[in-house]
Amino acid sequence: ARRGGWGKLLARSRYLFIAQKPEIIAEHICAELRGWRGPNGEQPFWESVGRHFFEMDFVAADLHNATHGNQFIQDLMPRHPVYTVFLSPEARACIGRPHESARAAYDMLIEEGFEWDQYIDIFDGGPLVDAKTSQIRTIRESRVKRLFATGDVANGETMLMAAGAVSSFRCVREKAQIDGDSLIVSKDAAKALNVKTGDFVRCVAW
């Protein structure tokens, strides 16, 4: 689903979902990216850090974290700094380095205004990036327009448009024309968004 631009579409659609109902979302959003591992699945960061504190391998620890929450990390990990000088060179090279399969997602997050502030995943060393919700680019640049009419918008600009909130939320990427506070979309886009003339639509340039 993340190839062919679908990952970007899904990500930016989520941001418009947030823009439609910001009061239910925290003021900051954190995204965790998969850390680097070798071509044969080796985990240098885990081997230098995690395995010394958990009586399980990486896969088991990651699964436990996903299914039972991260309290066990707080229980088992040391409360004192782990000095990177004591890690293997391979492990140090993993710090803040996303896996190749996560590189595109990392670049998209940075483009949206997320920043890496030196926080990493305790298991694989992957970066944790953070952004103030209101300053995420898609959210910040989105505007609410009133639907003026439906018609031929072949010469319009490709937009990401959303209407509704939570259970009624809909989002579509289509061409549209903007004139001041008014919006013209195709009949298909209006149908997909479940909007009619006079309704409000949130939009942002694609």
Q: Give me the active site residues, please.
A: 99
What residues have CB less than 8 Å from 183, skipping those under 6 apart? 145, 146, 147, 148, 161, 176, 177, 201, 203
Distance CA 87, CA 92 (A): 6
Contact between 154 and 119 under an 8 Å Cβ cutoff? The reply is no
CB 49 within 8 A of CB 122: yes
Q: Tokens 């062919």 sit at which residue? A: 4
| Euclidean distance between CA atoms 35 and 29, whole angstroms | 19
